[in-house]
Every structure is written in C-alpha cells, then in structure tokens.
C-alpha cells in the first residue's frame, strides 16, 4: 500500500475519474466491488463525487453531461508540476488539447489532452487536492496501461512529453513498460497492436485502461457479474499477479488484479 500525502513527481498517475449515465447504479456497482463510499462535493462542483476508501479519496465520479458523447471510460490523470507547460509539450509532440488548462477552485489545475493515436488522458497539478491518497492497495489503482495500435510511436510520444524511459518486455509480446526517469519507477505500460471498445459502444479506439487492486481476483469477477457487469477474460496468473479484464454495467473496460507478493528483501 502507498499513502500519498503530497504531489507526485511529473508524469506519475495520480487520479482517475469517470462520467456515467446512471450515477446511483455506478455507486452500487463500484461500492460493492471495491469497497468505496462516496462524497458528493455539491452543486458548485457539479455534484462531482469523490470515491473514498477508508475515508480517503481514490477516484472521482459524475453523471455524464447530456451534451457529451455517449461514451464512458476511466480517465487517468498524470501529475503535472506545470500543467500549462505540459499541455504545450503535448501539442509540440503532435497531441491535441481536448479541455484547455483551467483551475478547479482551489483544488488544482487540470487539462484533458490526447496523444498522437487519439488516447485521452488528464493532467493534474495538485494544490489542495493532490490526487488519489491511496494507491497499490485493494480498492485503489495499481497499474495503468495504454492499448494502442503502434506501441513504438506511442512510446516516443510519452517519452517526449514526460521523459519516460521505455523498457520492452521480453517474450514476443508487443509491450513496453514506462519508467519514470531518475528513479526508474514503473508507472505504466503500452500494449501495441491493440485498441479498446469503450463503454457506450462505437469503434475500437486507443485508450488508457486501469487495473484496480483486489484481494481476490476470482471473487471480484463474481462480484462484477452479480453487479450487472461483464467479463472479457477470466482470471489468469502472470508473474505480476492474477488479473481479469472486465466491464461495468455501462460497458466501461478495466481490470481487476490481485498483485503478486513483493519479493522478500
């Protein structure tokens, strides 16, 4: 488990949120699956709900605005010491601005951008709100992975924007691990030759996908089905843990994963 008490270094995943067509149903589904409770931040904030774990915020949720497309996904945000500066680096690298940089009350500054293959992600420059206060523990995110047609091009984009180091995974899979420069911390991965159908349907697109940590992947899959979700792939073991690809009742894709135990020192 990691308790986060201050802003993470540039390029570190630090928040998640989602817009859904039925907020009450989403709360029931994710509350039952991940043990979340919910805090409505009020009318001024558009009734944005904080998803909390043991009283600490780990993600956000809101009703999808009626004027927005009928497509839903978990949007991952990356820490930004300078949100406006990173937006410029995104556009300089060939990406696009979806929502320009703006202040969110006294909480922080944010933007939504897209990479060169169309995958959207957020930037979050924390002030009063540093992001997810618990990560790498059951009920919080443990990994984020980009499904992209061209892993090489995607890797170059994120290396240019965030300064990541790229590490190919051996074994024949078109997969690159992203490592934070300086300390070498693993922060995510890119699965090449792949795209995702997001919640609400439509054509496959490049997209970031989130892995939520759980105590028992098989039990989590049962909870997904019982809550009206679906399973894209049954739980499988890997050197990194036991995981399954699932979808919530609105078709939003994500993974549930029981991480492998940390190696003994």
Give the CATH number of domain 1-142+208-260: 3.10.180.10
Two tokens at 199?
A: 């919640």
Q: How confident is the model at residue 252 (pLDDT cuts 50, 70, 90)?
A: very high
- How confident is the prediction for the chain on average, in pLDDT? 94
Give the separation between CA 138 and CA 12, rounded to whole angstroms: 19
Is the pLDDT confidence value at 5 over 80?
no
- pLDDT band at residue 263 under the 50/70/90 scheme: low
Burial class (CB in 10 A: 0-12, 13-18, 19+), 93: middle
pLDDT greater than 60 at residue 265: no
* Domain assignments of the chain as residue spans, ordered by start: 1-142+208-260
Strand, coil or helix: 88 = helix
User: Which of 231 and 70 is assigned the larger pLDDT?
Assistant: 231
Q: How much is the pLDDT for 264?
A: 58
Of 21, 23, 4, whose CA–CA distance to 13 is shortest?
A: 4
Q: Per-residue pLDDT averaged across 17-23, rounded?
A: 96
Residue 1 has pLDDT above 60, yes or no: no
Buried-state track 139-158, b at ≥16 Cβ within 10 A, e below 16: bbbbbbbbbbebbeebbbbb
Whether residue 181 is predicted with pLDDT greater than 90 in this model: the reply is: no
Among candidate residues 206, 212, 198, the one with its CA nearest the CA of residue 253: 198
Residue 170 pLDDT = 84
Answer for the pair 243, 235: CB distance below 8 angstroms, yes or no.
yes
Question: In this predicted structure, what is the pLDDT of residue 150?
Answer: 95
| 72 touches 247 (CB < 8 A) | no
Percentage of the chain beyond pLDDT 70 is 98
Confidence of residue 251 (pLDDT cuts 50, 70, 90): very high
Task: Supply the DSSP string of 99-160, one letter for each residue.
Answer: EEEEEETTTEEEEEEE-TTS-EEEEEEESS--S-SEESSTTSEEEEEEEES-HHHHHHHHHH
CA angle 21, 23, 25 (to 5 degrees): 95
| pLDDT per residue as tens digits for the range 152-177 | 999 999 999 999 999 988 887 899 99
Q: pLDDT per residue over 88-119, tens digit each?
A: 999 999 999 999 999 999 999 999 999 999 99
Q: Is pLDDT of 255 > 90?
A: yes
Measured in degrees and rounded to the nearest 5, phi and psi for residue 154 equal -65, -45
- Asked whether residue 61 carries a pLDDT value surpassing 80, the answer given is yes
The SS3 of residue 25 is: helix
């Amino acid at each position: 488990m990691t308790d986060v008490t201050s802003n993470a270094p540039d390029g570190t995943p630090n928040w998640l949120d989602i817009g859904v067509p039925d907020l009450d149903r989403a709360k029931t589904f994710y509350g039952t699956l991940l043990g979340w409770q919910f805090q409505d931040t009020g009318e001024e904030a558009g009734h944005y709900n904080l998803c909390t774990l043991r009283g600490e915020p780990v993600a956000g949720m809101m009703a999808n605005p009626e004027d927005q497309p009928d497509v839903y996904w978990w949007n991952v945000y990356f820490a930004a010491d300078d949100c406006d500066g990173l937006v410029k680096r995104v556009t300089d690298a060939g990406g696009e601005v979806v929502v320009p940089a703006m202040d969110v009350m006294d909480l922080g500054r944010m933007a939504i951008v897209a990479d060169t293959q169309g995958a959207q992600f957020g930037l979050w420059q924390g002030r009063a709100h540093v992001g997810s206060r618990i990560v790498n523990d059951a009920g919080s995110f443990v990994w984020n992975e980009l499904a992209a047609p061209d892993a090489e091009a995607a890797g170059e984009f994120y290396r240019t924007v965030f300064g990541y180091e790229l590490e190919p995974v051996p074994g024949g899979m078109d997969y690159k691990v992203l490592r934070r420069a300086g300390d070498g911390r693993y922060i995510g991965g890119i699965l090449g030759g792949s795209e995702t159908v997001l919640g609400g349907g439509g054509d496959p697109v490049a997209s970031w996908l989130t892995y939520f940590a759980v105590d028992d992947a098989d039990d989590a899959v049962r909870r997904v089905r019982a809550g009206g979700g679906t399973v894209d792939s049954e739980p499988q073991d890997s050197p990194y843990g036991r995981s399954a690809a699932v979808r919530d009742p609105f078709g939003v894709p994500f993974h549930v994963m029981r991480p492998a135990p940390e190696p003994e020192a």
